[in-house]
Amino acid sequence: MKTTSMIRLRMGTNDAHYGGNLVDGAKMLQLFGDVATELLIINDGDEGLFVAYDNIEFLAPVYAGDFIEATGEIVSQGNSSRKMVFEAKKVIKPRTDISASAADFLEEPIVVCRASGTCVVPKNCQRKNK
């Protein structure tokens, strides 16, 4: 059985770091960290620790007002390590060209970031999969 997780949230103006309301790419990594934490709780009953990313690809810009869906999956396990893959997609984008509150649900979500990394749950903290 695959262990997966998904969160969806709206990027606010407080997330915008650059001109034109562009959101810092590090925000996607923060979302992946939250997804990883949920994956470890589901899988092991413990939050664990994120050790490293081995690949990160920023594929499209993210702006304040965009709704981002971040997903993750555990793809392999060692004694304490958990290899994970992540993807963030833009699923709703604002349409301020129409009005201040207009937005479009994207029939084809836009992949904005992909990453893979490794988390660790110390053996003495693993409450599941024993």
CATH of domain 3-125: 3.10.129.10
Q: How far apart are CA 42 and CA 98, in angstroms?
A: 42
| Per-residue model confidence as pLDDT tens for the chain (130 residues) | 688 999 999 999 999 999 999 999 999 999 999 999 999 999 999 999 999 999 999 999 999 999 999 999 999 999 999 999 999 999 999 999 999 999 999 999 999 999 999 999 999 989 986 5
Q: How far apart are CA 25 and CA 3, in angstroms?
A: 25
Helix (H) or strand (E) run with residue 43 in it: helix 26-44
Q: 47 and 40 in contact (C-beta within 8 Å)?
A: yes
Helix (H) or strand (E) run with residue 109 in it: strand 103-120
**What's this model's pTM, rounded to 2 decimal places?**
0.93
Residue type, 87: E
